[in-house]
Chains A and B, each alone.
Chain A
């Protein structure tokens, strides 16, 4: 069953917490991965791979650069999840 927007944000919050140590409550739709959440370019690759696995979605490298905020990633996953 496809994940809801709320479930995706919660899932991304877990992933960002694991990788960057940011408290889950700080991971919100308007937050930028690099500017607000301490996720640098290498860690972003980890976030993407973890999200692919968790939400059964493929996020090609060329699309990763468009995922600036948690909201961007959530929309992408909502649209492309299997």
Chain B
């Protein structure tokens, strides 16, 4: 292959999510159809219209030493935990340079979040108001900057080829992985640590999303609240956590004998130019992203057997995505088993693309796709357009090459579709 169109593979995975403190426990929860949603029991939650969320299963301060944790926004803590796991999982023993198998000048990091260090920003404003200027933490700026998680992951692994932070709301994590694929494909790097993270369970974002009518107010049934494709869906449930993968040129991975989870085939990107928050109801922008994916990559719709959908459990968005899949793939959509894993993890905003890429890659690797839970009455428009996996995990074909997609869309009209393939 030419040096500007190199094959890219996934060699490491890591996560910390509402279902578990690592990728293995997260995957176990997804396949078992577990919900990570809980009632919010903090004092501030009493006044909120939305009193449910999906917090991480393992508090980051149980993993990261306190002196380090107090200088990191919660979103950066999640990113570091997931990146550390992915880095080790890829078989690297130390940071680049110290581990002779990776050259720091050929290593990148691309980790994104939708909102950045929002809890740091708001907490330090509280400190300013209550205790005065002198008490504002000198670590505030590196903690709140949206490139903080990516920069900290870059420091962790010793990345010198470039550290980036694409921001596109809930598509941020997927856009980060797409950017990383391009860095390797075009020859800028041999290895890139990439993913998404978010930590926004705080009264202000919850009040704000709640007032947009974007979130479920099904406070009486936390575990049943996130119900993509169900007729009674009434909005998303806010989740938190991170998903990070190690991407590598196939050549670099082969040279060091790395285990390969899947090929990262490529990305399709578009923008709606329709509305700042509403999805285009027929999924025109999503269709364009899917078409771009097919036009720009070596991918045959016949091999796609699974889609990890964006499906956040909002009335309009869930259906627009399925219409786009049907429009672009036609009859091939019949053999694409669709999972909405946000039914279990909640919506991790900028972290979603990272965690759902981990789920998509593991689905190909284990050849089993997680279910969508809480679908009691499937929306007829979903049924007409797609094969939604409900209730229980479904086995994928055991023979031959299979491919899967991970969709992510963000406020602002950002559409990112990633494709992976079994090896």
Q: A residues bordering B, Cβ < 8 Å?
A: 19-21, 38, 42-43, 45-46, 49, 52
Contacts and interface: CB of A to CB of B under 8 A. Distances in A.
Most chain A beta carbons < 10 A, residue from B65, B66, B67, B68: B67
A49 B139 contact: no
B67 A46 contact: no
Contacts of A43: 71, 138-139
Contacts of A38: 67
A52 B71 CA distance: 21
A49 B65 contact: no
A21 B66 contact: yes
Interface residues of B, number: 11
A23 to B, nearest CB: 12
Contact of A46 (B65, B66, B68, B137): B137
A20 B67 contact: yes
B117 to A, nearest CB: 15
B256 interface: no
B296 interface: no
9 contacts: A19-B67, A19-B70, A21-B65, A21-B67, A43-B138, A43-B139, A45-B138, A46-B137, A49-B134
**Closest 9 interchain pairs by CB?**
A21-B67, A45-B138, A42-B138, A20-B67, A42-B139, A49-B134, A21-B65, A21-B66, A46-B138
B129 interface: no
B135 interface: yes
A29 to B, nearest CB: 22
Nearest to B141: A42
Interface string B35-75: 00000000000000000000000000000011110110000
Given A19-B67, A46-B137, 10 more contacts: A21-B66, A21-B67, A38-B67, A42-B71, A42-B138, A43-B71, A43-B138, A43-B139, A49-B135, A52-B134
B144 to A, nearest CB: 14
A38 B139 CA distance: 15
Contacts of A21: 65-68
Contacts of B134: 49, 52
Contacts of B135: 49
Nearest to A17: B67
Nearest to B69: A21
Nearest to B139: A42
A33 B245 CA distance: 37
A38 B70 CA distance: 14
A46 B220 CA distance: 43
Nearest to B142: A42
Contacts of B139: 42-43, 46
A16 to B, nearest CB: 10
B380 to A, nearest CB: 57
Contacts of A45: 138
A43 B134 CA distance: 14
A26 B138 CA distance: 24
B62 to A, nearest CB: 15
Interface in B110-167: 134-135, 137-139
A20 B67 CA distance: 5
Contacts of A52: 134
Which of A38, A42, A52 has the most chain B CB within a 10 Å cutoff?
A42
B391 to A, nearest CB: 47
B67 to A, nearest CB: 3
Nearest to A53: B135
Nearest to B136: A49
Contacts of A42: 71, 138-139
A20 B70 CA distance: 10
A46 B67 CA distance: 12
A42 B65 CA distance: 18
A57 to B, nearest CB: 13
A42 B138 CA distance: 6
B119 to A, nearest CB: 19
Nearest to B140: A42
A21 B65 CA distance: 8
B88 to A, nearest CB: 23
Nearest to B134: A49
